[in-house]
Amino acid sequence: MREGAAPGAAIELEMPAPRAGGLGQSPPRADGPAKVSGLAGYPADRIPTDALWAFAVFTDQPHARLRRLDVSAAERAPGVVAVLGSADVPRNEYGLTKFDQPVFIGLDHTGCSPVPCDVSRWEADHLALIIAESLDEARAAAAAIDVEWEPLPVVADLDMALAPDAPLVHPYDGVGSNLYESMRTRKGDLDAGFAAAAAVVETTYEVPYQEHAYLQPEAGTSWVDAEGIVNVEIAGQWVHEDREQIAHALDLPEDRIRVRYPAIGGAFGGREDTSMQIILALAAHRLSERGIDRPVAMQWSREESIVGHHKRHRGRIWARWGADHDGRITAAQAEAWLDAGAYNYTSNKVMGNLHLGLGGPYELPNAAIDTHVVYTNATPGGAFRGFGAPQAAFAVECQVNKLAETLGMDPIDIRRVNTLREGSPSIAHTPMPAGVTMPEVIEACAHAAALLPRPVDDDAVTADADPFSPFVSLPGMPSSLRRGRGFACAFKNVGFSFGFPERCEATIVLHGEPGDDLPASVELSHAGADVGQGAHTAFLQMAAEATGVDPSRIVGRFSDTGTSGDSGSASASRLTWMAGNSILGAAEEAEKAWRDGDRPAIGHFRFTPPPTTELDPETGEGTPNFSYGYVAQHVELTVDIDTGHIRIDRVISANDVGRAINPRFVVGQIEGAVAQAHGHVLSEHLRSRDGRLLNPRFSTYLIPGIGDIPVTTESVVLELADPLGPFGARGMAEMGVIPYAPAVAAALADATGVWMDDFPLTPERVWAALRSAGITA
């Protein structure tokens, strides 16, 4: 925190827009000037100068039982104020959807939790929290901890976890297996469907980890204020859920906890589960009990961040699909396994998305789908942009493209035959929610792709590349470059699924004098998190439209449990959709109060969308979602078959956004999604062995730079109104990452004739696959 500021200084935004309303326009971001000038306060910028520093000691044990722990030497180390552990946590457990993780590994079992805390199941489990005058002193004290471990068998991956007589990662849970949750769908007559098929394709796909790689590593500050409230200022995705997790572990009423978010340097799902929220709050709370009323700060290094938070799930998907001579899919069968890692995090919910996604955006008369989540001692999987849909789409879209190839059909034509339409039955047996636009999205992408014909002579292709390109073409040398095109499409839910009590609250206050026809100014309070996507600016634009007040006279107060009702998470492509509906409701309530003469006129509204249901455990029947987003992508690439290098020359991403609240933000989301998916598919290879990450740094985990991303990305934005969306808007933030991997795989197969059923498509892996298939220049 900059000198002179106080902990908890207000976080407000004023909307700098030139005209009233502004919906469908792209005014400057409300937080843009502060971010461009460097004045924006991120959690690491807002640490008070008098703060104590906390350092979380990781166990560094993928699977081991704690036998002895002595922190007395660490407590005596220079600068150390306190050392906290399992005995200091009233309820030594947490978890976003399942309490299966101890806050600390320790020998003290007084915390009222059924989760045994004496076993480390992950290398980043927390052993202790050292609080000192400086971060360096806290880190140095960690070396003085005297600890003894009994090594346990490491369940490193899916194969080991599913093997007969595999050691159990969570033997106390009563399941009796590392496979701890499953989902099942049965629809139609699978045998009859395969009997009617003219082509059957069967493949096993492997999908890899992905690190979120957000700009800002974890950091935060906690303090106890004069009213005895424990304050936590940190980056996250859902302030009210963070508060709930903290209150549970500390065994405090929720009104004794206040969570707020300053500027957030990216999230992508990586901040949906707690990282240091609980231990920061615990530190401030325990120190205050000892009469030490100083703020406590934490900040992770990049390596600590990569090791210490969850990833996109790695997993395995077996699929067998059949289609008749006309390309109509007659049968679809799949079984999938997600590696949940050491703890559940949101794995059981990601499994649900994966499960629905394994039916693809297609009408399937006959289907059998099984999905599972499996505990291992590896890094936990959790929320990541797409939330299970990218893994499903890789298998499904590759299957559809392979069926098209086997039948001699155009890959777009086979989708025209099978795509979901308005009123189509979903894979969950029930009709799709109104507003299905998959056919229109496919056609828009196909039309854009047809505008630039394929080169007739692939041998004439040269590497007319910029200086960053790996391609080299010398005069007189035969070209080893091949060109290819690929197509894929996908859909994904907007909002939470499977009966979760979805909701979003907003408060609008209209200010003015008695007799005024229009308010002089407006306050908007909303807890929704802006993780860099521009959500708060979009909120202010929607508030301006809803109230008719010029945006320049609207002030927003955001992401603070002390000022706003529950917004739900910045996830599931839901935030604009849900927030817009809550803002519309709050504006209506405020206008009623205004007409009644109230000054100020206050409107509070809690929006709840149509209910969803869990799926029937035997058939998979249900109403899992109330809205979906739709996307199709076309990819053109060049591959050097001598080296395995791939250059993505052109990407067309067609998205139906319902209504573009801020068109510039929409295009930014699409381009950002493509770049993020590009890294996942081509370069980001996070390696794990025996439960340990081998390359937790950006020198060896390669995210794409400016010279690595696609040469061109073209955003085709459709505005086909969602019947339930605010102003017709439809969630779209995740859609662009979902079909990219299968589109790239299809383009590579088009160029070389070789299908790669796993990724990342690094040069050495592509080169090996081509050589194995006998492909040479």
* Token pair recorded at residue 134: 């400086």
Distance CA(102)–CA(309), nearest Å, equals 15
Per-residue pLDDT, 22: 75
Of the spans 2-6, 12-16, 27-31, which averages the highest pLDDT? 27-31
- Residue 760: asked if its preceding bond is cis (omega within 30°), the reply is yes
Q: Where are the beta strands (DSSP E) in 179-245?
A: 179-187, 199-207, 219-224, 230-234
Contact 366, 189 (CB under 8 A): yes
pLDDT digit string, tens, across residues 70-102: 999 999 999 999 999 999 999 999 999 999 999
State the residue for tokens 């507003």.
Answer: 435
Measured in whole angstroms, how far is the alpha carbon of residue 648 from the centre of its chain? 24
Is a pLDDT exceeding 90 seen at residue 61?
A: yes
Element (H, E) at 406: helix 389-407
State the residue for tokens 């792209």.
Answer: 26
Give the contacts of 583 (CB within 8 A, at least 6 positions apart): 506, 508, 524, 526, 539, 542, 543, 546, 726
Per-residue pLDDT, 458: 45
Measured in whole angstroms, how far is the alpha carbon of residue 589 from the centre of its chain? 33
Per-residue pLDDT, 164: 96
Distance CA(232)–CA(152), nearest Å, equals 36
pLDDT band of 115, cuts 50, 70, 90: confident
pLDDT band of 108, cuts 50, 70, 90: confident
Long-range contacts of 19-23 (CB under 8 A, 24+ apart): 19/550, 19/551, 20/544, 20/548, 20/549, 20/550, 20/551, 21/544, 21/545, 21/548, 21/551, 22/541, 22/544, 22/545, 22/551, 23/541, 23/542, 23/544, 23/545, 23/659, 23/661, 23/727
Per-residue pLDDT, 445: 98
pLDDT digit string, tens, across residues 631-669: 999 999 999 999 999 999 999 999 999 999 999 999 999
State the residue for tokens 């900040």.
Answer: 299
pLDDT band of 446, cuts 50, 70, 90: very high
Per-residue pLDDT, 111: 59
Contact 264, 35 (CB under 8 A): no
Distances in whole angstroms, Cα of residue 67 to Cα of each of 90, 106, 108: 22, 9, 11
Give the contacts of 124 (CB within 8 A, at least 6 positions apart): 58, 59, 307, 308, 379
- Say which amino acid occupies 388: G
Average pLDDT score over the chain: 94
Distances in whole angstroms, Cα of residue 217 to Cα of each of 45, 194, 274, 329: 12, 50, 13, 46
Question: What is the 8-class DSSP label of residue 184?
Answer: E
Per-residue pLDDT, 411: 97
Per-residue pLDDT, 479: 85
3-state secondary structure of 431: strand
Is a pLDDT exceeding 60 seen at residue 691?
A: yes
- Which of the residue ranges 109-123, 179-193, 409-423 would you say has the lowest mean pLDDT? 109-123
**What is the model's pTM?**
0.95
Distances in whole angstroms, Cα of residue 442 to Cα of each of 408, 438, 493, 535: 19, 6, 18, 28
Per-residue pLDDT, 7: 66
Distance CA(436)–CA(748), nearest Å, equals 30
pLDDT band of 12, cuts 50, 70, 90: low
Is a pLDDT exceeding 70 seen at residue 504?
A: yes
Regarding beta strands 52-58 and 504-511, do their DSSP bridges make them parallel or antiparallel, or are they unpaired? unpaired
**Polymer length in residues for the chain:** 777
Distance CA(13)–CA(10), nearest Å, equals 10
Is a pLDDT exceeding 70 seen at residue 26?
A: yes
Is a pLDDT exceeding 90 seen at residue 577?
A: yes
**Nearest Cα to Cα of residue 181 among 345, 309, 319:** 345
Distances in whole angstroms, Cα of residue 772 to Cα of each of 91, 308, 754, 755, 775: 55, 37, 10, 12, 8
Question: What percentage of the chain carries pLDDT values higher than 70?
Answer: 93
Contact 217, 299 (CB under 8 A): yes
pLDDT band of 413, cuts 50, 70, 90: very high
Contact 565, 578 (CB under 8 A): no
322 DSSP β-pair partners: 200, 331
Mean local confidence (pLDDT), 161-184: 96
pLDDT band of 472, cuts 50, 70, 90: low
pLDDT band of 469, cuts 50, 70, 90: low
Distance CA(757)–CA(753), nearest Å, equals 13
Mean local confidence (pLDDT), 2-22: 50
* Token pair recorded at residue 265: 């340097």
**Nearest Cα to Cα of residue 153 among 163, 144, 143, 139:** 163
* Token pair recorded at residue 371: 């999905």
Distance CA(485)–CA(481), nearest Å, equals 14
Question: What percentage of the chain carries pLDDT values higher than 90?
Answer: 91
Is a pLDDT exceeding 80 seen at residue 3?
A: no
Q: Where are the beta strands (DSSP E) in 308-451?
A: 315-323, 329-341, 367-375
Is a pLDDT exceeding 80 seen at residue 473?
A: no
Question: What is the 8-class DSSP label of residue 202?
Answer: E
Is a pLDDT exceeding 50 seen at residue 17?
A: no
